Amino acid sequence: MRFTKLTKPGSVFLAGLASLFTMPAVHAEYALNMTESVTPIGRQLYGLHMLVFWICVGIGVVVFGAMAWSIIYHRKSKGAQPANFHESTTVEIIWTIVPLLILIGIAIPATGTLIDLEDAKTDAEITVQVTGIQWKWKYTYVDEDISFVSNLAQSSRDVMKDPIGNENYLLEVDEPLVLPVNKKVRFLFHSDDVIHAWWVPELAVKQDSIPGFINDSWALIEEPGTYRGQCAELCGKDHGFMPIVVEAVSEAEYEQWLVSKKEEAAAAASAAEQEWSMQDLVARGEEVYKANCSACHGVTGAGIPGAFPAMTGSAIINDPDPSAHIDIVVNGKAGTAMASYKGQLNDVDIAAVLTYERNALGNSVGDTIQPVAIKNAR
Amino acid sequence: MSTEITHDTAHDEHDHHGPAKGLMRWVTTTNHKDIGTLYLWLSFIMLLYGGAMAMVIRLELFQPGLQFVEPHFFNQMTTMHGLVMVFGAIMPAFVGLANWLVPMMIGAPDMALPRMNNWSFWILPFAFAILASTSFMEGGGPAFGWTFYAPLSTTYGPDSTDFFIFAVHLMGISSVMGSINIIATILNMRAPGMTLMKMPLFVWTWLITAYLLIAVMPVLAGAVTMMLTDRHFGTSFFDAAGGGDPVMFQHIFWFFGHPEVYIMILPAFGVISAIVPTFARKPLFGYSSMVYASASIAILSFMVWAHHMFTTGMPVAGELYFMYATILISVPTGVKVFNWVTTMWKGSMTFETPMLFALGFIVMFTIGGFSGLMLGVAPVDTQYHDTYFVVAHFHYVLVTGALYSIIAAFYYWVPKWTGHMYDETLGKIHFWWSTIAVNVLFFPQHFVGLAGMPRRIPDYSLQFAEFNQISSIGGFAFGLAQIFFLYIVIKTIKGGVKATDKVWEGATGLEFEELPSPPPYHSFTQAPQVK
Amino acid sequence: MSSATNEEYYVPHGTHWPIIGSIGLALTVVGIANYLHDTWSATPIFVGLAIIVFMMYGWFGQVITESLSGFYSKQVDATFRWSMSWFIFSEVMFFAAFFGALFYARQYSIPWLDGASNNDATAQYLWPDFEAAWPLLSVPVSEKFNEATAVMGAWGLPAINTAILLTSGWTVTLAHWALKRRDSTWLVYWLFATVVLGFGFVGLQGYEYVHAYQDLNLRLDSGIYGSTFFMLTGFHGFHVTMGAIMLTIIMIRAAKGHFTPENHFAFEAVAWYWHFVDVVWLGLFIFVYWL
Ligand code: HEA
Ligand code: HEA
Ligand code: CUA
Ligand SMILES: [Cu+2]
């Protein structure tokens, strides 16, 4: 659906009103209804949703119909004389029992669906641990020794003032989660800081990730494709900017992806052994900083007074002895929003961002931090 | 038999049966009408304040992209909007109505504890001043939603959180004292012959609401107290590292929070039950079942709280239980709706402004109730939860429910209070303008919610653009309609056609049948005899 | 539930005490919040509290004068009774929140951290070394908290305190009986005994806290056990202190001859309050110390 600017207020009112009355009819064209899912459980949810919806419509027709009838025919201006009945135990009992029966009719399928929905463990073939972190997701393939962080893509960050025309604005990440189709995937949700919620409508998964506890949920994706979602629990400033992208691929492609991921990790490990130049570190550090740190400390390093300290002129950064600087980024500071980055960034990235902070953002300490220093600090 | 009132002799110098003069009249008053007026004005100011923040929200959401405010500020707007509307606009409005109406409806001279009544009110301006001041503090005001989930509000909360906590404490003290007063008045001050089962439904629903308030406000106080100690004194109620649980916060909060939403709707049911019979010229159908239904709703409301937590990973048995209990509330609520419709059936209806708002209430509250039922179905709620579908749900029950009933009550009783009729044409314009706008505002939110738009986000992806734009335009129109309402209110207070004592042809109840318009300063110096 | 009455209902005209009380309350809480952030000294808190005390003194003084002047009819008395009952109910609900936290931690969060119910992964991946127990001495992240070394037993001081409170509930009843038979001497004696027991309880509780901090390292920041222990017993102790102060005032009023067998609601209200404090203690004794 393309974004069109609605100019005339009148047409907007009409569009609004029209949408009131055409809800079920046009849902194929406009996204009026619940997203249809690519998992079996999602299809069950959709069915249940439509069932309850139509029940409500039915009851609505009866109740509002009776009301409309009175409004039209029992009005004083038409000479209606008021009757005087005001009690009937029989009808009270009827309109207690009938809704009760309807509710039982809803509760029975809902119970079955809920039990299926909550059974993530049985026959799970792949387990992915999902960690919510202000404001990104970290994915760990539990049996594969693969782990990476997924951030909002730079392409979305760049156009926030005027995103019109940007495809998948706010729904694009730098590294998607890759999953094979037709396998039951068990997700383990957990958070490093506040409560987040991982939600991909097409997978019909929405589960809170809570610090200190692990929740699970599952999906069996039946169609390959790219599925997008967002964090669904208010988690602070950039809650609106922590999207999720799932690439569902065939099993063969998935295997291939696993291999390439492992190679990447090995390459990164050897890169960490090398001596890096200041220029390379600063260049790489800028990217890392933008993706990981700027949300709090600001793109220019100004921070937000009272909430997030400025990087520009920070005493810790400008201290010629880098140990405190290394420590706060590697280990974070407990009880504050400053998280530990040792689980999120590799040695090179941390070394790069530290060097960047020391030599940019208005600071000029003039030294470099080498990846080995980070390795030792871990 | 009669009830006479006595006064303290110290005040003999001035007129017993009229108010003192000047500003101090309002500060020191113990009169239920004065205090009712104070509450109603506070609530209107808060509606404008909370509404202005809603306008900021709708402005930022008018198009995709970040145009007007920073995300952190946006979150503060959402949070303060919710808090101010719930605690500042809706609740005080109902307390104001109770102050004005309960003594008149049961034939009492005043509230049972007039001095405490004054205190209940005068805590609130301080509480809201403290709450509002947080917006100007370093680090910003509360930005964690009106539900202030831990640990976002504890470990990660801004410094101003502590001021917010104490503001909530003060509001709690005020509500508990106000409720005690209302209960004592209703149970102890009824005129001879006014048995419980003869009380107007507004009185009944307020009696039940007052119980809910006394039961849950202290729990909220406990929740914020735990937040305070977690933040400053090293306790670990909401911290798994010490054996607590962030989700425990949600349980305690919603044990308060769910009854709270019924606190905001039960008095509304009472208002509608007064207005519909008057304009249908037919007695309320099923009075006693209405009483029992209200009580059932109140009792059930204590047993359903975790339907706000279906995605927190509760054990399945818990989710099933909370689903069943939640959808069960539709039954007594349905009884109320059916009784109103049957009251209209074969009546002789006219459609003055209060009736229009009451009819609007019935239709749109029911729509909100239907979406509530959908949310109550636990497995599907995992998809609705924290989306605009929920936002649409609760604005239908709160704005076109609670707020509409308050507006209806204003039109219905203002001729009694002031002795002036409001301007009927303006009232009708207000109704139609508001009703069209409010549906343009909130109906599309169902669509974006179902299509996947989370709530509490300052910016969204392009696919939601059209409906958000429509919604924003509806929002601005609805906001302007309430400015127009302010004009109607002031105009009516200043003057207007003289209202008769009975005001409405079909009106019943002591306030219409036994008292002049406007009523004397002390409503019933002689208790009426109720047949 | 009286509805019919031919008595007079006293409606006071104007009062400035509430606004003074509001100012006091607001100053106190703003003072505390600023004190916590080191922006203000503690002085505003005390000024605020002093204003509240002044307000209570004035307000209650006025009510007492009115009561002694016979302004209050039976119906006013009934209002006071309803109000006090529901006030106590609100207090019950305040404690319920903390008891709720205690039960939740014991029944749910601690076992869940150890893998109970649907939390197998929680234990497996996050807290492999954690073992559920109550009272919980070693918490999941021990570095973050001051872990207690031992549990506060039930059968030492707490049992003595139980006996003290139960006795005080009895003495206040004896005082009531004395009042009913117009025996003002024993009324004051029994009240005095109650006050002594009340403050004695508070003193022993204070001693127990010192013991907890010094010998057991059981502190407010010892994890959920310390949190629930100190918050519950602390709020209870605060209520006992308030109750004992109120009893002291009642004792002074009794000595001045303010109460008659027909008209002594202030006495009864405080007695109710005292029984409420007593019952809460039983709950504490059973669930915090004993089980
Ligand atoms: C006045 C306030 C009010 C009222 C009256 C209600 C009424 C109901 N609410 Fe709502 N609710 C809120 C205010 C209110 N709610 C708020 C503020 C939130 C969001 C809080 C937040 O997260 O910020 C919320 C959120 C909320 C949720 C959580 C959603 C989520 O976050 O995932 C749920 C889930 O169960 C729910 C359910 C219900 C139900 C079942 C009712 C029922 O009482 C409705 C009953 C009424 C009817 C059903 C219609 C009339 C009945 C008939 C005509 C009879 C026949 C009908 C049938 C048999 C179906 N509500
Ligand atoms: C209790 C009652 C109540 C009422 C009456 C309202 C009224 C309105 N609400 Fe709100 N709302 C809540 C309770 C209420 N709300 C709650 C509890 C939340 C959840 C908060 C949270 O997530 O934590 C919420 C959240 C909420 C959101 C979601 C925010 C988010 O998730 O980020 C939105 C978005 O559109 C919204 C909009 C509105 C609008 C447009 C109105 C309008 O009806 C307001 C109309 C009134 C006025 C506008 C005032 C009069 C006008 C002026 C003062 C001048 C300005 C006028 C113009 C510029 C035209 N509300
Ligand atoms: Cu993470 Cu919202
Ligand atoms: Cu609810």
Over residues B76-105, the pLDDT tens digits come to 999 999 999 999 999 999 999 999 999 999
Q: List, as ranges, residues 152-211 from C with C-beta within 8 Å of B.
A: none
> pLDDT value at position C213?
92
- Contact (CB, 8 A) for B101 and B413: yes
Instruction: Determine the 3-state secondary structure of C117 from DSSP.
Output: coil
> pLDDT value at position B12?
38
- Contact (CB, 8 A) for B317 and C117: no
B461 is catalytic: no
In the predicted model, what is the mean pLDDT of residues C265-287?
94
In the predicted model, what is the mean pLDDT of residues A170-175?
93
Q: Which of B323, B461, B474 sits opposite A16 (nearest CB)?
A: B474
**Pick the residue with more confidence: B340 or C64?**
B340
pLDDT value at B448 more than 80: yes
SS3 annotation, B141-162: CCCCCCCCCCCCCCCCCCCCHH
Q: Residue of the nearest CA to atom 18 in ligand 1?
A: B394
pLDDT per residue over A184-215, tens digit each? 999 999 999 999 999 999 999 999 999 999 99
Nearest to B274 by CA among B368, B411, B396: B411
Q: Which domains does chain A have, with CATH numbers?
A: 40-72+89-118 (no CATH), 126-154+168-258 (2.60.40.420), 272-377 (1.10.760.10)
> pLDDT value at position A333?
86
pLDDT per residue over A227-248, tens digit each? 999 999 999 999 999 999 999 9
pLDDT per residue over C25-42, tens digit each? 999 999 999 999 989 999
Minimum CA–CA partner of B164 in chain C: C33
Q: Residue A208: beta bridge partners?
A: A197
Lowest-pLDDT range, A290-299, B96-105, B249-258?
A290-299
Percentage of residues in chain B with pLDDT exceeding 90?
87
**Pick the residue with more confidence: B384 or A373?**
B384
Contacts of C105 in chain B (CB under 8 A): 237, 243-245, 248
C-alpha of A56 from chain center: 30
CA of C214 to the centre of ligand 3 (A): 42
Percentage of residues in chain C with pLDDT exceeding 70?
97
B146 is catalytic: yes
pLDDT per residue over A324-365, tens digit each? 999 999 988 877 788 888 888 888 889 999 999 999 888 888
> pLDDT value at position A231?
96
In the predicted model, what is the mean pLDDT of residues B165-193?
95
In the predicted model, what is the mean pLDDT of residues A276-292?
88
Pocket of ligand 3 (CB under 6 A): A 132, 135, 196, 231, 233-235, 239, 242
pLDDT per residue over A71-110, tens digit each? 999 999 888 888 888 888 999 999 999 999 999 999 999 9
Which candidate in B146, B149, B321, B433 is catalytic? B146
> pLDDT value at position A184?
94
pLDDT per residue over B274-298, tens digit each? 999 999 999 999 999 999 999 999 9
> pLDDT value at position B525?
78
B209 is catalytic: no
In the predicted model, what is the mean pLDDT of residues C159-177?
94
Q: List, as ranges, residues 239-268 from B with C-beta within 8 Å of A.
A: 239-241, 245-247
Q: Does A119 touch chain C (CB under 8 A)?
A: no
- Contact (CB, 8 A) for B88 and B42: yes
Chain A nearest CA to B69, separation (Å): 11
CA neighbours within 13 Å on the CB side: how many for A156? 23
> pLDDT value at position B20?
66
**How many beta carbons lie within 10 A of that of residue B18, not counting itself?**
12
Minimum CA–CA partner of C117 in chain A: A215
Which candidate in B29, B154, B175, B366 is catalytic? B175
DSSP states along A138-207: EEEETTTTEEEEE-B-HHHHTTTT--TT-TTTTS-BSS-EEEETTSEEEEEEEESSS-EEEEEGGGTEEE
Contacts of C217 in chain B (CB under 8 A): none
C-alpha span between B316 and B310 (Å, rounded): 10
Q: Report the mean per-residue pLDDT for chain C.
A: 91
> pLDDT value at position B3?
42
pLDDT per residue over B476-516, tens digit each? 999 999 999 999 999 999 988 999 999 999 999 999 988 98
Q: Residue of the nearest CA to atom 21 in ligand 1?
A: B147
> pLDDT value at position A369?
87
Which atom from ligand 1 is nearest to the alpha carbon of B322? 35
Reported confidence tier of residue C277, pLDDT bands at 50, 70, 90: very high
C-alpha span between C168 and C193 (Å, rounded): 7
Q: Which of C4, C26, C140 sits opposite B243 (nearest CB)?
A: C140
Q: Does A259 touch chain C (CB under 8 A)?
A: no
Reported confidence tier of residue B17, pLDDT bands at 50, 70, 90: low
Reported confidence tier of residue B10, pLDDT bands at 50, 70, 90: very low
Size of interface B-C (CB pairs under 8 A): 260
Closest ligand to residue B309's CA:
1
Which atom from ligand 3 is nearest to the alpha carbon of A196? 1
C-alpha span between C182 and A230 (Å, rounded): 74
pLDDT value at B2 more than 70: no
Q: List, as ranges, residues 150-189 from B with C-beta within 8 Å of C.
A: 159, 162-163, 165-167, 169-170, 173, 176, 179-181, 183-184, 187-189
B308 is catalytic: yes
pLDDT value at C2 more than 80: no
Percentage of residues in chain B with pLDDT exceeding 70?
96
The answer to whether A214 contacts C144, with C-beta atoms less than 8 Å apart, is: no
- Alpha carbon of B82 to those of B86, B260, B453: distances in Å? 6, 13, 19
The answer to whether B348 contacts A80, with C-beta atoms less than 8 Å apart, is: yes
The pTM of this model reads 0.93
